[in-house]
Structure 1
Amino acid sequence: MASASAAAPESWQAAGPRKRRSAARRPRRREAAPRDPEAEFEADSGVVLRRISNAGKDLLISDFWSSALETINECLTKHLEQLKAPVGTLSDTFGKLHLDSSPDESDVAPDSIPGETPGTGTSRWKCVCYGIGNFATCIIARNQLTFLLLLLEKCQIPRSHCWVYDPLFSQLEIEVLNILGVTVLSENEEGKRSIRGEATIFYMLHCGTALYNNLLWSNWSVDALSKMVIIGNSFKGLEERLLARILQKNYPYIAKILKGLEELEFPQTSQYMDMFNDTSVHWFPVQKLQQLSTDAWEFWEEPDYQDCEDLEIIRNKTEDPSATD
């Protein structure tokens, strides 16, 4: 799971002749995230829910929300076509994506929670969210959670079909998530979750690189990867920031999948720069996956990261007692 203090080491260099990305494109360190002025006192679930509601109102009327929906729409439309979804499902789902992307503030109920009313349609996806952070006290984490709730509504994914985990969650935050209706995982999976043949959107912003590598390993087949969408750190950005030999040694599944994916960058606006910088939507076209070498698919060893410094995730201590945070 993504550690709250994880960030790319400054000593990493660009691989090959690519131009190094600016610091603004890198995932921001969570410890530098602005905290609520009111966070000095212990909040209750009602206070946190009200803050999420207010964040939702601001997000819905922002240019960022409408632009981000266009990006997600473009990717998920292609993904649905790949899944051979019925035409009715395709039009119904993305008809919802375009509706009310920037409503008038007067249309939002005073104390409503973003995405509170679930869609009535049948979604093609389930959703898994890793590493959202301490949203009760962190403004960045709260906006990321709010975006997730709105995305679930637009994609007509019932909240009960969204699994959420962060080892840093407080009891208050778990209580709030239960009230919101999402499913809170009880164990640290370290990203090693198989989709088991079900189309799944993974929402994992500013997570450690090992988490993405573990997720790819757990679904290392054409069939599984073609059913996945990952909203998270830009894989192109990882390729540019890490030396090629480090990427191939420590994160081999990311290194191998770079030629088997398509990536669309999230829009960047000053208001939400800290929340969604270096974020992209990734999906895996079957044709590109089939063009990967046979050797790429035959190598399927579980990552162990024994020689990896700055791992950036919190290990599952029940499985690895010697691991450190």
Structure 2
Amino acid sequence: MAAATAAALESWQAAAPQKRRSAARRPRRREAANRSLEAKFESDSGVVLRRIWEAEKDLFISDFWSSALETINRCLTEHLEQLKAPMGTLSDIFGNLHLDSLPEESDVAPDSIPRETLVTGTCHLKCVCYGIGNFATCIIARNQLTFLLLLLEKCQIPRSHCWVYDPLFSQLEIEVLNTLGVTVLSENEEGKRSIRGEPTIFYMLHCGTALYNNLLWSNWSVDALSKMVIIGNSFKGLEERLLARILQKNYPYIAKILKGLEELEFPQTSQYMDIFNDTSVHWFPVQKLEQLSTDIWEFQEEPDYQDCEDLEIIRNRREDPSATD
């Protein structure tokens, strides 16, 4: 019995160091695997940032950029005038183009892009971007993102004052956006964001119609709408494409606001035809809004889209567990 016990003890003592060495090796393998994943992630984000920088260079020197900027300038000038912004503010915003030269390529390296600092000026526009898509893999989405970045620079909107969301963003894309300095929203708002009295540009290219309808509902007052600018799908185009009864039933806020807005179409060029087609700048003159009937403003029922076919937005499942994509 003693001999058997001694043999078992010797066997355990011989095996124990091997177990300790095995246990010690496993964390090192995990650490190595983690380092490998981190290195690959940094490499991937560097590739995406480089592609954004290259797209930005091409867009910046294009005729489309200068023409689109002129269109936005015309709209924002009128928009700011109705907000009684000082004339000096308009000069501050549009008088000096801060994109005389683009950043060097090294500026878009993952470790070298500084977050944009706040700018001085008397008019503090904010920006919200919905539905820009998977810019890491899609060239259309990437060009739309680069346009947004240039627009923020031109309008002197700090990137930290630009909120971005798309339910399809990958973790890589979220990290790239964080690196670029914009604020990535963590929750699907379905477009239901109130501006809370702050002049705001909404950048919503090729978004579902319900997203625009939700946004209008969330800001359904003369005061709020007069402080908004929407760059996105042409409302006139929506009116032309949809049957009147469908527009009024499923998207009532768009139907009701058509007589209360001004719209300027984006220029069309062959180079960016598929990227910015059917895009307009919309703003809401106080004079037009005040001419709408009282009944229009009293209707404030939240959209639910229960009977709406082909709903082109992804619902917030936490609020609506039964919602489908």
Partner of 1:20: none
Partner of 2:119: 120
Aligned residues: 280
Shift of residue 112, structure 1, vs aligned partner: 4.0
Contact 1:203–1:230 (CA under 8 A) maintained in structure 2: yes
Query: For 1:263, what is the secondary structure of its paired residue?
Result: strand
Normalization by structure 1: what TM-score?
A: 0.83
Contact 2:116–2:160 (CA under 8 A) maintained in structure 1: no
**2:180 counterpart of 1:180:** yes
Partner of 1:162: 162
For 1:170 and 1:309, how far apart are their aligned partners in 2?
Answer: 28
**2:49 counterpart of 1:49:** yes
The structure-2 alpha-carbon separation of the partners of 1:66 and 1:95, relative to structure 1 and needing over 3 Å to count, comes to same
What is the 5 A alignment of 1:101-250? 109-113=104-108, 120-122=119-121, 123-250=123-250
Contact 2:67–2:267 (CA under 8 A) maintained in structure 1: yes
Q: Which has the higher helix share?
A: 2
Query: For 1:229, what is the secondary structure of its paired residue?
Result: strand
The structure-2 alpha-carbon separation of the partners of 1:213 and 1:121, relative to structure 1 and needing over 3 Å to count, comes to same
Q: Which runs of 5+ in 2 are unaligned?
A: 1-39
Partner of 1:263: 263
Q: Percent identity?
A: 85
Partner of 2:277: 277
Normalization by structure 2: what TM-score?
A: 0.83
The structure-2 alpha-carbon separation of the partners of 1:112 and 1:68, relative to structure 1 and needing over 3 Å to count, comes to farther
The structure-2 alpha-carbon separation of the partners of 1:234 and 1:135, relative to structure 1 and needing over 3 Å to count, comes to same
The letter of the residue matching 1:62 is S
Shift of residue 109, structure 1, vs aligned partner: 2.4
Higher RCO (C-alpha 8 Å, min separation 6):
1
Partner of 1:91: 91
What is the 5 A alignment of 1:9-20? none
Query: For 2:245, what is the secondary structure of its paired residue?
Result: helix
Query: For 1:271, what is the secondary structure of its paired residue?
Result: helix
Question: Per-residue CA shift, 1:54-100, capped at 9, x if unaligned?
Answer: 0000001100000000000000000110111122211110113xx36
Shift of residue 306, structure 1, vs aligned partner: 0.3
Contact 1:214–1:303 (CA under 8 A) maintained in structure 2: yes
The letter of the residue matching 1:110 is E
Q: Which runs of 5+ in 1 are unaligned?
A: 1-40
The structure-2 alpha-carbon separation of the partners of 1:161 and 1:108, relative to structure 1 and needing over 3 Å to count, comes to closer
Partner of 1:80: 80
Contact 1:119–1:153 (CA under 8 A) maintained in structure 2: no
Partner of 1:306: 306
Partner of 1:291: 291
For 1:112 and 1:144, how far apart are their aligned partners in 2?
Answer: 20
Please say which of residues 86-95 and 159-168 is displaced more in the overlay.
86-95
Decide which structure has the larger Cα Rg and report it: 2
Question: Per-residue CA shift, 1:150-209, capped at 9, x if unaligned?
Answer: 000000000000000000000000000000010000000000000000000000000000
Contact 1:263–1:283 (CA under 8 A) maintained in structure 2: yes
How big is the alpha-carbon RMSD for the aligned residues of Structure 1 and Structure 2?
A: 1.9
Contact 2:129–2:163 (CA under 8 A) maintained in structure 1: yes
The letter of the residue matching 1:219 is N
What is the 5 A alignment of 1:30-69? 44-69=44-69
Contact 1:266–1:280 (CA under 8 A) maintained in structure 2: yes
Partner of 2:253: 253
Contact 2:190–2:316 (CA under 8 A) maintained in structure 1: yes
Query: For 1:163, what is the secondary structure of its paired residue?
Result: strand
Contact 2:266–2:276 (CA under 8 A) maintained in structure 1: yes
For 1:232 and 1:307, how far apart are their aligned partners in 2?
Answer: 25
Query: For 1:186, what is the secondary structure of its paired residue?
Result: coil
Query: For 1:276, what is the secondary structure of its paired residue?
Result: coil
